[in-house]
């Protein structure tokens, strides 16, 4: 595999996924506090909580100090952890979605795990199916689908494939840092271009503008839309909450570049963190509209499975004075719980605060003039290379 790009830690590589570290028996707290309150450089999480599918868990002995690093002092910052990349042996690429809350049926994700390290990421628990942790493992152990372009070409070329929109990056970001070197997402877009099959991209990275040439050609066939996800305009907050994602200003510049090139682009204000970022809604919507976004959509914070513990630990590290308020609002949105997985409400919540967020968002969008002309993707131009374009019915 290729080496990581500049700015990404040097990595070791393997031929397959590794199991999580050896774990000691116990059923105590799922998230252990980092030793001496140390903060890891450019990582969203500072813990590796127990895997919910595993009976054993690793527990650090606070009294074991042999060979402790020189910086292991109260408040000291640990050195940056390396990101390790592994070949994903998956033989299929496209996944089917049956959720009524999501506006697509098919998706692909070139990577499993994400080095952006967003602390709130709802995809973190998926790493537990690999025998890894939803904490640091999720952002430091990345599985790479090197065969994704070939698998996509095989799927789209199959006589059984009925052309439809494919979401790219609905689980993990397709433009996370290593994509700069590996170019797997770009090669998948080139497959979509050859077949003229529509796709919808979601990302937190300005790297998407690298592929403007392919995106323009897809736009000629109404076959692409891009959404930049922006959580906050405060870059200081971004550095701890989304440590390796692009800065808010870089994401807005990407929106401008896409709009200027004629590529349909929108912004997802996601997630809205009640008590922490919800006050930014009017400014975020206005900034998105000013950059050229045609649509702006909200998603309220969700904390499935072990993410709730990780997120609370993050609040305690970085915003202890707001922890009670934020988690109180979360519970108010989720019927007294930290998470409510029910369809139809999980993306927006319920109750007074949910209604306030929805009303604020609607007013901001009306003032900004967005969501009046959303892009409509088309399968009319679909073709199989070497064959004929599908006939119009």
Residue 14: per-residue pLDDT: 36
Residue 185 burial (CB count, 10 A) = 28
What number of H helices and E strands is found in the chain? 11, 15
Q: Return per-residue pLDDT of the chain as tens, 393 residues.
A: 543 433 343 333 333 333 332 222 232 333 333 444 455 667 777 666 767 766 554 455 444 334 444 444 445 555 568 899 999 999 999 999 877 777 789 999 999 999 999 999 999 999 999 999 999 999 999 999 999 999 999 999 999 999 999 999 999 999 999 999 999 999 999 999 999 999 999 999 999 999 999 999 999 999 999 999 999 999 999 999 999 999 999 999 999 999 999 999 999 999 999 999 999 999 999 999 999 999 999 999 999 999 999 999 999 999 999 999 999 999 999 999 999 888 888 788 899 999 999 999 999 999 999 999 999 999 999 999 876 555 554
Residue 44: per-residue pLDDT: 73
The sign of the torsion formed by the CA atoms of 327, 328, 330, 334 equals: positive
- Asked whether the beta carbons of 117 and 243 are under 8 A apart, the reply is yes
Residue 387: per-residue pLDDT: 60
Paired sense of beta strands 56-57 and 24-25, if any: antiparallel
Domain spanning 13-368: CATH 3.80.30.30: yes
The conformation of residue 191, written as its DSSP 8-state character, comes to H
Q: The pTM is what?
A: 0.81
256 three-class SS:
helix
* Spatial CA neighbour of 33 closest among 65, 74, 83, 80: 74
Name, in order, each residue with C-beta under 8 angstroms of 77's C-beta and a sequence gap of 6 or more: 38, 39, 40, 41, 71
Residue 21: per-residue pLDDT: 29
Residue 34: per-residue pLDDT: 41
* Spatial CA neighbour of 84 closest among 10, 5, 135: 10
Q: What is the Cα–Cα distance from 350 to 222, expressed in whole angstroms?
A: 36
Q: Partners of 25 in the beta sheet? A: 56
Q: Which residue ranges make up each domain of the chain?
A: 13-368
Residue 10: per-residue pLDDT: 36
Residue 346: per-residue pLDDT: 77
The sign of the torsion formed by the CA atoms of 341, 205, 329, 103 equals: negative
Q: Is 253 exposed, middle or buried (0-12, 13-18, 19+ CB in 10 A)?
A: middle
């Amino acid at each position: 595999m290729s080496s990581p790009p500049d700015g990404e830690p040097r990595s070791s590589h393997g031929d397959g996924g590794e199991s999580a570290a050896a774990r000691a028996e116990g059923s105590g707290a799922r998230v252990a506090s980092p030793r001496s309150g140390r903060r890891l450089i450019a990582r969203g999480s500072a813990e590796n909580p127990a895997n919910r599918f595993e009976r054993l868990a690793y527990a650090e002995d606070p009294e074991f100090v042999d060979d402790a690093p020189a910086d292991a002092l109260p408040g000291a910052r640990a050195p940056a952890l390396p990101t390790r990349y592994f070949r994903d042996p998956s033989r299929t690429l496209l996944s089917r979605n049956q959720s009524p809350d999501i506006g697509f049926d098919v998706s692909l994700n070139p990577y499993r795990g994400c080095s952006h390290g967003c602390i709130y990421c709802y995809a973190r628990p998926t790493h537990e199916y690999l025998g890894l942790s939803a904490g640091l493992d999720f952002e430091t152990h990345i599985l790479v689908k090197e065969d994704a372009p070939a698998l996509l070409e095989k799927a789209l070329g199959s006589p059984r494939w009925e052309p439809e929109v494919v979401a790219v990056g609905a689980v993990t970001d397709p433009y996370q840092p290593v994509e700069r070197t590996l170019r797997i997402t770009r090669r998948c877009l080139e497959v979509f271009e050859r077949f003229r099959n529509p796709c919808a991209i979601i990302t937190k990275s300005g790297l998407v503008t690298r592929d403007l040439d392919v995106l323009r050609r897809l736009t000629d066939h109404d076959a692409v839309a891009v959404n930049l996800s922006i959580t906050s305009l405060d870059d200081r907050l971004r550095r701890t909450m989304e440590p390796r994602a692009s800065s808010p200003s870089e994401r807005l510049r990407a929106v401008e570049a896409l709009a200027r090139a004629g590529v349909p682009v929108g912004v997802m204000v996601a997630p809205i963190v009640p008590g922490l970022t919800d006050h930014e809604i009017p400014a975020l919507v206005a900034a998105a509209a000013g950059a050229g976004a045609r649509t702006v959509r909200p998603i309220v914070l969700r904390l499935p499975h072990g993410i709730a513990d990780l997120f609370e630990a993050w609040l305690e590290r970085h915003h202890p004075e707001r922890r009670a308020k934020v988690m109180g609002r979360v519970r108010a949105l989720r019927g007294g719980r930290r998470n409510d997985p029910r369809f139809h409400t999980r993306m927006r919540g319920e109750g007074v605060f949910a209604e306030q967020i929805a009303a604020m968002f609607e007013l901001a969008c009306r003032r900004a003039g967005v969501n009046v002309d959303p892009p409509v993707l088309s399968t009319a131009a679909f073709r199989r290379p070497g064959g004929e374009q599908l006939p119009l019915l």
